[in-house]
Structure 1
């Protein structure tokens, strides 16, 4: 299994920075990136005006910090899931159940996923945001790649990287599609879709 360096976690930040960035994620989820201002974050966090700008001097610095915070939070969740999936070799039903549980939690706490979508749309216009998201995706692909057998025994071809990239892209799409469905339909949709998509984790699938 390829080695993947553990992602930096939000816990490595100071408590105040975590508080501000958590508030910023809620602002982006509710108002989009256009609503992301220092004042909006201060209001959301219930802190005196000027607190956010003392930690993130410019709007660009705030936007980049939010991007890194969202990416690190999601990556830490994926790391935890990957550690559980290592013990699921040959047990696809359990792998789907564990992945489904994480996706459902993300959808119940929709702010992170909503903020990530807004940031992804901003990336083509903002090189710093794009760079942070590209690095995050490369990490996630590396985690998924590490769970795959390196070589297709029937061909001798190592297609794990391509399959990992396709799987991560599929996960992104499933989350967006699930967000657009009524809440009572999401579990069934994700369960069926994940079962189909996660055959990519099975070298014989």
Structure 2
């Protein structure tokens, strides 16, 4: 089990230009899907001269891989921040505040849907691309470890299998929430998280 107090490995910092290009790519794939993700489309979205994206990411495969890392790292950073928030609130006896933090994170992801939609598009691409699949698998393993740590910190029965099931269940909840009308999302997320927490509180099958 990873130690929540241990320092985390830091990915190399992105240059301002590379970040600008990847942020533009994030919006392109959200608005136009994976088929619309081209170097020219990224240049246009970033407001940069044609050829700027290809100067940094020469091939489509390089662009997709870099965007996959960018999206996965952003989501992972949010979950890391939630884990730290939970650790602090639990130390103060404020578990309810931690649960509210999880709800707020999910709402933000759904309302600012770029990260979730891009991840869905890239996940579908990864079913046909072994390199992308490996990138997503590596980030998912780290996410499962963080969730297992959160479960342990909140006193819930935990294991790698439970954490992996929880992550998969969250994926489904988030996808369903994307399709809900704006005025129904919070109620749906609250109810779903409560039901999921209850179901995972049971003992694991033998």
After TM superposition, the score normalised by the length of structure 2 is: 0.87
In 2, Cα distance between the equivalents of 1:85 and 1:184? 27
2:3 maps to 3
- CA RMSD across the alignment: 2.6
In 2, Cα distance between the equivalents of 1:47 and 1:145? 42
> 1:99-146, CA deviations, whole angstroms, 9 ceiling, x for partnerless residues?
011111111211110000001111110111101100111010000111
> 1:19-74, CA deviations, whole angstroms, 9 ceiling, x for partnerless residues?
00000011111111111100000001111100000000001000000000000011
Unpaired runs of at least 5, structure 1: none
2:185 maps to 186
Q: Per-residue deviation at 1:148?
A: 2.6
Unpaired runs of at least 5, structure 2: none
Structure 1 position 168 matched with structure 2 position 159: no
Question: CA 1:99 to 1:58, structure 2 compared with 1: closer, same or farther past 3 Å?
Answer: same
Contact 2:86 2:95 (C-alpha < 8 Å) held by counterparts: no
In 1, Cα distance between the equivalents of 2:78 and 2:104? 11
Q: Per-residue deviation at 1:88?
A: 4.1
In 1, Cα distance between the equivalents of 2:70 and 2:102? 22
Question: CA 1:19 to 1:100, structure 2 compared with 1: closer, same or farther past 3 Å?
Answer: same
Once structures 1 and 2 are overlaid, which stretch shifts more, 83-92 or 135-144?
83-92
In 1, Cα distance between the equivalents of 2:24 and 2:171? 23
Greater RCO (CA < 8 Å, at least 6 residues apart): 1
Question: CA 1:145 to 1:71, structure 2 compared with 1: closer, same or farther past 3 Å?
Answer: same
Q: How many residues align?
A: 199
In 2, Cα distance between the equivalents of 1:27 and 1:72? 18
Q: Per-residue deviation at 1:171?
A: 0.9
1:28 maps to 29
In 2, Cα distance between the equivalents of 1:7 and 1:143? 13
After TM superposition, the score normalised by the length of structure 1 is: 0.88
Query: Among residues 115, 118, 124, which one is paired with 1:121 in the alignment?
Result: 124
Contact 1:174 1:193 (C-alpha < 8 Å) held by counterparts: yes
